[in-house]
A and B are shown apart, each in its own frame.
Chain A
Amino acid sequence: DTQMTQSPSTLSASVGDRVTITCRASQSVNRWLAWYQQKPGKAPKLLIYEASNLETGVSSRFSGSGSGTEFTLAISSLQSDDIATYYCQQYNDFWTFGQGTKVEIK
């Protein structure tokens, strides 16, 4: 099974900051990597697929990069609406998720 590890677990930043979240896979997942945003009490929302492709309707403040075993999600200018937990997910070998990164406003 492919394990996904995210860092940090919690991130505190100010409105307008650029923030980055890292996701590492225990083995190569090529570019079969997605990022989701989950707000409290809601289902996850797909933000990025194939490591760097923005899902339709998602703000261009979000971007993804990486391949193989290391990936990054960036938010170019943090907004209050971005407060959520973010999960990476590999889909190279069925589907497994990272443990999540909670983003807070400082």
Chain B
Amino acid sequence: QVTLKESGPVLVKPTETLTLTCTVSGLSLTNTRVGVGWIRQPPGKALEWLAHLFSEEEKEKSYITSLRNRLTISRDTSTGQVVLTMSNMEPGDTGTYYCVRVRDILEPFDSWGQGTLVTVSS
């Protein structure tokens, strides 16, 4: 059974960089086409895909166009973790951040972490 768990700060200040970690269990990140992605959800609002990766090669990473210059996704196969950084945080980035298993490009998300709420405030 695949489990994903997000971790990171509860509170960040405007202009700071957010670093979130997704720890994956029950699945090896070294397996071919095993992907992990990040989704966010502002309070009371809809879900938004942010980024995903299948490997450390840049061609295997993708980002939402509107946030491309603020996001970086990476992974550490030795620890089974995928890290998302988002720079220059602002109050509008407040929300719950989820990591998800990405089985392939033409696939929905069948496994989700529990989510972690991040508040951006001074």
Could you list which residues of chain A lie within 8 angstroms of chain B, going by C-beta atoms?
1, 32, 34, 36, 42-46, 49, 55, 87, 89, 91-92, 94-100
Contacts and interface: CB of A to CB of B under 8 A. Distances in A.
A55 B47 CA distance: 20
Nearest to A48: B108
Contacts of B64: 94
Nearest to B65: A1
A2 to B, nearest CB: 11
A91 B107 contact: yes
Contacts of A97: 46-49
Interface stretch (B14-22, B87-95, B112-120): B112-120
16 contacts: A32-B106, A34-B108, A36-B47, A42-B114, A43-B114, A45-B112, A46-B109, A46-B110, A49-B107, A89-B47, A91-B105, A95-B37, A95-B49, A95-B109, A97-B49, A99-B46
B62 A94 contact: yes
B49 A96 contact: yes
> What size tier do the contact residues of chain B reach?
20 to 34
Interface in B52-82: 62, 64-65
A97 B108 CA distance: 11
Contacts of A95: 37, 49, 108-109
Specify which of B45, B49, B98 lies most central, judged by the most chain A CB atoms within 10 Å of its CB: B49
A98 B46 contact: yes
B49 A55 contact: no
Specify which of B98, B107, B108, B114 lies most central, judged by the most chain A CB atoms within 10 Å of its CB: B108
Contacts of B48: 97
A43 B108 contact: no
B108 A49 contact: yes
Given A43-B98, A43-B114, A100 B106 contact: no
B112 A89 contact: no
